[in-house]
A and B are shown apart, each in its own frame.
Chain A
Amino acid sequence: MTALLSLIRRDIRIALRVGGGALIGVLFFLTVVVLMPFAIGPDLNLLARLGPAILWLGALLASLLTLDRLFMADHDDGSLDLILMSRTPLEFTCAAKALAHWLAAGVPLVVATPVLGLLLNLDASATSAVALTLLVGTPALTFTGMIGAALAVTLQRGGLLLAVLVLPLSIPVLIFGVAASNAAIVEQGTMSFSTPFSILCAISLASLVIGPFAAAASLRHGMD
């Protein structure tokens, strides 16, 4: 257990350093959200309507950006080999790394959401709805993205291939995340917040299991 805890602590510490990627993720999130109005136009009503979608897209792309380094950095300095050879089951190690990544990179995105919600003219209830769905949804993004990161570490030039592999897996999360946010904002009565939200939770929970197993299998087979 202590092995996993120290792995988590180490990963968080590395990620929070300047070149570590956690803060760069938030910066990218900010950039994407700022770019949107330039493309869409400054119409505040339109931005408010599109707000949850813009925030979710920004968070997804920011997660994708930072996932690259999940295993790559360890592979480059050789610690991935040590991790593979250790006695802790690889599935738990992968889960620990994903957890650390989410804490360091995913949670800051959620924290940044209220500020960015202001830029998009979202009111308090809308922003908190989006933040809540992001809180529940970003683990799914991280854990499914980890599968792509593990597959990409076996390639020399992982990068863009990682994005292509991960994106289809993230589409359900995106669909339900935005739907839940919109349902919380527009009280239409045709759809409650709880339906898409619980499905989002279900997807996240499933990814907590499937992600580490698939990532461990990829690493094991790919590193021979």
Chain B
Amino acid sequence: MTLTELANPTRFLSLATRILPWLAMLTGLLLVIGLYQAALAPDDYQQGATVKIMFIHVPNAWLAMFVWGVMSVASLGTLVWRHPLADVAAKAAAPIGAAFTFLALVTGSLWGRPMWGTYWEWDARLTSVLILFLMYLGLIALWRAVEDPSRAARAAAVLTLVGAINIPIIKFSVDWWNTLHQPASVIRMGGSALDKSFLYPLLIMAVAFSLLFVTLHLAAMRNEILRRRLRSLQMLQASKPVALP
């Protein structure tokens, strides 16, 4: 199915409904395998067992960025190619991406407490993710602030693309800022090169979380399409002349 064929919402709905159960099962399977591998992973000589937090922190952090990338591609679809499902994809992805970003922050903070002694540290990574979280919240607020879905879509598309350009700039700025104000501890999260025994569980969890995102995203897109159907029918109903007795 090419992208143009999928542009028909009804066809997309039928495809999504058919593959969702399989995706969900595959995601669940991979998550179970990943968790099992994470439990089996050895302790890090420096961090002890707390390195296990990495197996859920890193996938969430990676997804936080990846989802913004997905939304950016969708935004291009809205602005440049006017693909009908592009704004559905963008709108559905935003809350899911925000949730992953929030989890990245929280797990990062809980990982940081044993490592640095504080729940928050203004290091480059946590700070950039915090700013990314603010951007997600702003984007969601923008989606909700405009009544008409297609107008909201275009405004959100511009903001997403501007944000996408800005994310590397922010990352670079915060990295640079952080080297200026070097924090006391020099322990780097995750270490420079990951041993196989850490890499395998991490990769499995990363794939599992990515599949989780795809599953949730398709389900949310399905909801959004149905919601738009509902909205147009409601508007149609509201404009019908009421039969007077």
Contacts and interface: CB of A to CB of B under 8 A. Distances in A.
B145 A161 contact: yes
Interface string A204-222: 0000001000100110011
A218 B142 CA distance: 12
Interface string B32-46: 000000000000000
Interface string A65-103: 000000000000000000000000000000000000000
Q: Is the interface of B mostly helix, strand, loop or mixed?
A: helix
A118 B154 CA distance: 46
Nearest to A203: B169
Size band of the B side of the interface?
A: 20 to 34
B142 A221 contact: no
Given A172-B170, A175-B176, A214-B158, A154 B151 contact: yes
A210 B162 contact: yes
A175 to B, nearest CB: 5
B10 interface: no
B173 A169 contact: no
A222 B151 contact: yes
A172 B137 CA distance: 19
Give the interface SS of chain A, mostly helix, strand, loop or mixed: helix
B154 A169 contact: no
Interface in B102-144: 131, 134-135, 137-138, 141-142
A172 B162 contact: no
A165 B180 contact: no
B166 to A, nearest CB: 6
22 contacts: A154-B151, A161-B138, A164-B137, A165-B159, A168-B131, A168-B134, A168-B135, A171-B131, A171-B170, A175-B173, A175-B174, A175-B177, A176-B176, A179-B177, A210-B165, A214-B161, A217-B158, A221-B79, A221-B151, A222-B151, A222-B155, A224-B151
Interface of A: 147, 151, 154-155, 157, 161, 164-165, 167-169, 171-172, 175-176, 179, 191, 196, 199, 203, 210, 214, 217-218, 221-222, 224
Interface of B: 79, 131, 134-135, 137-138, 141-142, 145-146, 151, 154-155, 157-159, 161-163, 165-166, 169-170, 172-174, 176-177, 180
